[in-house]
Amino acid sequence: MATMEEAKVDMYDDTVYAVDDPQHVEGEMTVGSRQKSNIGEPDFNTLDEPIRETILRDVRTVGRKFYHVLYPKEKKSLLKEWDLWGPLVLCTFMATILQRSDSTDDVNDGGPEFAEVFVIVWIGSMIVTLNSKLLGGNISFFQSVCVLGYCLLPTAIALIICRIILLTDQSVLWFIIRFIITIIGFLWATYAAMVFLGDSQPTGRKALAVYPIFLFYFVISWLVISQT
């Protein structure tokens, strides 16, 4: 008849082997790719990814979102994974181009300061987002700011073209051309923003959500056309 000590050894026999056998000690300390693929997550570990690949992947993501703004057909492209890299780049670029010149000859050029453009873009987008939330919109705060920032791309393109025209000629004819280009950029930006944000608003309150978006891009477009 087995003693009590032998019975205890038999009961914990598997545990002893699990500790003593090094093959049983080894285990997976990270989540495997097969487990991630079951829930729709990517099958790579970004902690082991080289910095160069991470930067290139983020740049490609921003580029795809810019493409969807220029060709706004896929409504969920800017809402699935929001980021503020694109809006930050556009805002910095536009603030640099629009800022008032420091030369004494251009004291009255009417251009805004660098910080003023930042305040108009970011505070304006936050106010538009807050209005959307108060109207019952089913979109998150940062998703709305992301969309409004990315949709500045047509206005930024209009700014580049207008800046090139200003370097060549400032006649009335070229002002009319700059005005038309700015209007196109303004309408394009407003339309793209409504494509992405339109479905997030209640049916009876879409007009109340469109007006602040219209006013937001109108103010920025006014800064573009008023630069002399």
Tens of pLDDT along the chain (228 residues) come to 445 555 444 544 544 444 444 444 444 433 343 444 444 444 555 667 788 888 888 888 888 889 888 888 766 766 777 888 999 999 999 999 888 655 544 555 555 778 888 899 999 999 999 988 888 878 888 888 999 999 999 999 999 999 998 888 778 888 999 999 999 999 999 999 988 887 777 777 888 888 899 999 999 999 998 876
Per-residue pLDDT, 132: 87
Amino acid 20 reads D
Per-residue pLDDT, 109: 52
Task: Name residues whose C-beta falls within 8 Å of residue 194's C-beta, 6 or more positions apart in sequence.
Answer: 210, 213
Per-residue pLDDT, 23: 47
Whether the model pTM is above 0.85: no
State the DSSP string of 113-182.
PHHHHHHHHHHHHHHHHHHHHHTT--S-HHHHHHHHHHTTHHHHHHHHHHHHHHHH--SHHHHHHHHHHH
